Structure 1
Amino acid sequence: MAVYQRALCWVRRDLRLRDHTALTAATRQAREVIVVFVFDTNILRKLEDKDDRRVNFIHHSLKEMQARLVKKGADLLVCHGDPVLDIPRLAQELKVDAVFTNRDYDPYARKRDRIVEQKLKIWDVTFHSYMDQVVFEYPDIATRQGEPFKVFTPYKNAWLGALRPEHVAEEKPNLKRLAPVKVFKEWIEPWDLGSLGFKENELWVQPGEEGARAAWRKFQKYIHRYHKDRDFPALKHGTSGLSVHLRFGTISIRELVRNAMGRKNEGARTWLSELIWRDFYQTILDRYSYVVRGAFRPEYDSIRWPGKESHFKKWCAGETGYPLIDAAMRHFARTGWMHNRLRMVVASFLVKDLLVDWRKGEAWFARNLIDFELASNNGGWQWCASTGCDAQPWFRIFNPVTQSKNFDPEGRFIRENVPELAAFSNTHIHWPHDAPDSEKERTGCRLGKDYPDPIVDHALQREKALKLFQDVAQAALTPAEES
């Protein structure tokens, strides 16, 4: 039985029509539902690159969603402005009774939604928000004391212990309840990339629901091997390729969890753990929003990072003289995506070899990652920098050459992305600087000219990093402990 005559379903990071919580609720409770998206100028004006891949991904995904809506006799209502103004305005002009949306845990989004809800109340419009991008949110998963978990393993155990079929049941919208386009046709405006102030960029991944479904179908053939293959960046099937689709909601987290839970193999269990990590970091962002500004463990904000700006720029450009680091950063520049193992290796290198503040690396990833998600990006960087919750211990420092030998043993990923090193042997491609002169001559690669000399010595920088963290640890000791 419908409660409302007309409602808006405001989509943000849930760009799909299938298994959609807010759209399902809206089409159950309202006779007519209009789907709306706002290109938020508060976010867009901060983007530095006019060919930003994320804007492109969103735009193409929305075009696909629009085409599906048009087939149903409806359309997608798109605005370009401030949602704090546009959503209440549309609610008033379209005479809607309620707005339905899925929750976002970004501090900006939470504040935005509170303001929108308050403004809607003025017009007696009800605001409904739903959990959709995670399986559990706080306090669904909490310690015995009712506090958020700060360590992943007990969080994971509690998450798995709480999971029931109803938590991941499919949410099925009734698309027959979509409002006919004539209801809102006069409010539809052009929303090509140019009118938004952006331009096309070639995407490395297929956007939209169709892109998500294609990636998911492909990965299901290899999910049983995930625990074995996931650390090897040269393997095209080693990871799911779904991070950007989860980020923008072109596929439902519930569908992925349902499928993983139904498989009784180690690969699926390992992959499910990665999905749980995503919930964990969303909880950390939601409950401890100060991590956006600094370390989860505030004592580490006292570190004065001595790294050079010139070294940071060489890291960004993939010109460090460390082949795996450079291969990862060049692939990143070309595609806007980076393999998870490589994210850890390049982050460790920036922080603990180059001694550059982790926040600079976090910001560089935030600018360039097509799958940028504040919670996971911040959580991942703080894990690598040993400043976050349940982070890598500060005395464990990745050796970038050892990582290269272990996870790109034949140098396939390096050869693909640092072609000037392609002729080096499998033995020396990880560290060509120690290759015999005969091999250097044979390759035709002039080290120091065609490929840079290493900008730092890992062994020396490791000792400096240990000293930085040791000083913080010592300062954190209480007088009682010191005595």
Structure 2
Amino acid sequence: MTTLLWFRSDLRLSDNPALAAALAHGGPIVPLFILDDEDAGRWRAGGASRWWLHHSLRTLAADLAKRGSHLILRRGPAERELDRVAGEVGARKVVWNRRYEPWAVSRDEGLKAALKGRGITARSFNAGLLREPWEVVNGKGEPYRVFTPFWRALRAGLDLPAPSEAPRHIPAPQVWPAGEALGDWGLTPSRPDWAGGLRETWTPGESGGQERLDAFAGRASLAYGEARNLPGREGTSRLSPHLHFGEIGPRQVWRALTAAAFAETGDLTPSGVEVFLSEIAWREFSHHLLFHAPALPEQPLRPEFAAFPWIQDSKGLEAWRRGLTGYPIVDAGMRQLWATGWMHNRVRMIVASFLIKDLLIDWREGQDWFWDTLVDADLANNSASWQWVAGSGADAAPYFRVFNPVTQGQKFDPDGAYVRRWVPELAALPDKLLHAPWTARPLELADAGVRLGVTYPAPIVDHAIARERALAAYALARA
């Protein structure tokens, strides 16, 4: 009896519960990936994510071929394509791993009912989270809105099975159904080809994710607590896109880090590893928030922000997108994003605070830009994080906490390594002036080859004035 294995955001063969279930069922397995932009609607993958998806699917197809199998590609509404492929191969069972975006949750419920009506068994599994969103609730049976008690509850009930290895062989059907060519989907840019920095930075696919995990586990993770806030150092894991596309799973990450830490120190969770695991829990928290508050990407979680007096500032928004705000740490982050499809987490908070509080531009504008440009663009993480900075989300930073981009740069990039890499026109400035070049004397600027307003922009807003304006707007919204 043939089983249809529907790949989605679980593009790996190891620790894949749906694949394990298909193998346990016996009989031929038909792996299938459906590019379903219609059901996703506005939240179809952005440009950087589509580039990653192309290369991840190519890697998955090669991994399947090594095991005697083949990845079938189809495009269109999932229900239609699942029905067609199931009919073509005579599948009586369909298995997949769950997604938690609102559109996917509602669609999957309908899919199970539709398949059952056709006499086809449908089962779904958890491959992307440590625990399901409905499993971690407070004493009243309600979802958590504050991270710390959520983290305690998540950890208290955590019982992780050992991750399974990838199978050596996957049974194939006698005849394969027709599929589309990956190159015909146009997921990678051609003219202009802006993805050069992505190719230089990333290796999409399960093996690339495992290599990055292996490199981070051990001493790098032990130092994470001190190094994670320094964007000029390689102190973070950069696992986020691999986690988003399911090339590795959080159970694998947890096991690898605790095992490596124990081998190194005799302690499963020394401080650096503990801090990193709490970041994995923040990812988990974001997915739980989105599951229980499906309007999170569209509406503020705190109702008083619905009437916030945002400003329409197209010039400011464009300067922010292009990394031309005149604030070096902000511009460095935005240029890193455009070049590599990724941005250091500390800098994400700085650039988000600048857009929301210095420019008073709606957080949804930033969310949408990140959605299109991040290789790790994840609906739950993206929306929860932007609302956290805005002060409108769960366990949010207080709105009156306004990051000063100058002091943030001085504190977290003290030697200027990060700014000098991404804003090279300022590279010759001394450290004391690098994060506030407008404070330099004309001779100091001339010696560094900097001409404010010509080779590098003057600040587009005065931070001190902008901060007072933001606080006044917040007070108005609350009133």
Are the aligned partners of 1:423 and 1:443 in contact in 2 as well (CA < 8 Å)? Answer: yes
Indicate the residue corresponding to 2:38 in structure 1. 42
Q: Does 1:380 align with 2:392?
A: no
Q: Does 1:191 align with 2:182?
A: yes
Q: Does 1:207 align with 2:200?
A: no
Residues 419/198 of structure 1: CA separation in 2 closer, same or farther (3 Å cut): closer
Residues 288/214 of structure 1: CA separation in 2 closer, same or farther (3 Å cut): same
TM-score computed with the length of structure 1 as normaliser: 0.92
- Give the superposition deviation at 1:121: 1.9
Letter in 2 for 1:231: N
Q: Distance in 2 between matches of 1:260 and 1:307?
A: 45
Letter in 2 for 1:190: A
Indicate the residue corresponding to 1:11 in structure 2. 7
User: Which of 143, 148, 151 matches 1:153?
Assistant: 148
Q: Distance in 2 between matches of 1:196 and 1:119?
A: 31
Residues 7/248 of structure 1: CA separation in 2 closer, same or farther (3 Å cut): same
Matched-pair identity in %: 38
User: Which of 351, 355, 361 matches 2:356?
Assistant: 351
After TM superposition, the structure 1 = structure 2 runs for residues 358-369 of structure 1, keeping only pairs within 5 Å, are: 358-369=363-374
Q: Does 1:127 align with 2:132?
A: no
User: Which of 229, 232, 235 matches 1:234?
Assistant: 232
Q: Distance in 2 between matches of 1:44 and 1:142?
A: 28
Indicate the residue corresponding to 1:302 in structure 2. 307
SS of the residue aligned with 2:432?
coil
Map Cα deviations across residues 43-102 of structure 1 (whole Å, 9 max, x no partner). 78868999x232221121122221122122211111122212101111122111111001
Indicate the residue corresponding to 2:223 in structure 1. 225
Are the aligned partners of 2:147 and 2:285 in contact in 1 as well (CA < 8 Å)? Answer: yes
After TM superposition, the structure 1 = structure 2 runs for residues 8-407 of structure 1, keeping only pairs within 5 Å, are: 8-42=4-38, 52-164=47-159, 167-172=160-165, 174=167, 176-180=169-173, 182-184=174-176, 186-192=177-183, 194-196=184-186, 198-199=188-189, 201-202=195-196, 203=198, 204-220=201-217, 221-236=219-234, 238-262=235-259, 263=261, 264=267, 265-407=270-412
Q: Distance in 2 between matches of 1:447 and 1:340?
A: 28
Worse-matched range after superposition: 38-47 or 102-111: 38-47
Q: Does 1:439 align with 2:444?
A: yes
Q: Distance in 1 between matches of 2:140 and 2:230?
A: 40
Letter in 2 for 1:243: S
- Give the superposition deviation at 1:187: 1.6
Are the aligned partners of 2:53 and 2:187 in contact in 1 as well (CA < 8 Å)? Answer: no
Indicate the residue corresponding to 2:264 in structure 1. none
- Give the superposition deviation at 1:257: 1.1
Are the aligned partners of 2:371 and 2:377 in contact in 1 as well (CA < 8 Å)? Answer: yes
SS of the residue aligned with 1:402?
helix
Map Cα deviations across residues 142-190 of structure 1 (whole Å, 9 max, x no partner). 10111111000000011111112xx34214565544324x431x42332
- Give the superposition deviation at 1:195: 4.2
Map Cα deviations across residues 229-274 of structure 1 (whole Å, 9 max, x no partner). 00011112x1001000000011121111123344331110000000
SS of the residue aligned with 2:2?
strand
Are the aligned partners of 2:54 and 2:188 in contact in 1 as well (CA < 8 Å)? Answer: no
Residues 197/351 of structure 1: CA separation in 2 closer, same or farther (3 Å cut): closer
Map Cα deviations across residues 249-300 of structure 1 (whole Å, 9 max, x no partner). 1112111112334433111000000000111110000011121211011210
SS of the residue aligned with 2:444?
helix
Worse-matched range after superposition: 63-72 or 41-50: 41-50
Q: Distance in 1 between matches of 2:419 and 2:220?
A: 23
User: Which of 452, 459, 469 matches 2:474?
Assistant: 469
- Give the superposition deviation at 1:197: 6.3
Q: Distance in 1 between matches of 2:407 and 2:452?
A: 20
Worse-matched range after superposition: 366-375 or 63-72: 63-72
Q: Distance in 2 between matches of 1:73 and 1:426?
A: 57
Are the aligned partners of 1:79 and 1:189 in contact in 2 as well (CA < 8 Å)? Answer: yes
Are the aligned partners of 1:358 and 1:382 in contact in 2 as well (CA < 8 Å)? Answer: yes
TM-score computed with the length of structure 2 as normaliser: 0.93
- Give the superposition deviation at 1:119: 2.2
Q: Distance in 2 between matches of 1:208 and 1:170?
A: 18
Indicate the residue corresponding to 1:481 in structure 2. none
Worse-matched range after superposition: 400-409 or 60-69: 60-69
Instruction: Provide structure 2 residue ranges, at least 5 long, that are not aligned to the other structure.
Output: 262-266
Worse-matched range after superposition: 343-352 or 251-260: 251-260
Are the aligned partners of 1:27 and 1:173 in contact in 2 as well (CA < 8 Å)? Answer: no
Instruction: Provide structure 1 residue ranges, at least 5 long, that are not aligned to the other structure.
Output: 476-483
- Give the superposition deviation at 1:449: 1.0
Residues 152/49 of structure 1: CA separation in 2 closer, same or farther (3 Å cut): closer
Are the aligned partners of 2:48 and 2:372 in contact in 1 as well (CA < 8 Å)? Answer: no
Worse-matched range after superposition: 433-442 or 404-413: 433-442
Q: Tell me how large the CA RMSD over aligned residues is.
A: 1.9
Letter in 1 for 2:220: Y
Are the aligned partners of 2:51 and 2:187 in contact in 1 as well (CA < 8 Å)? Answer: no
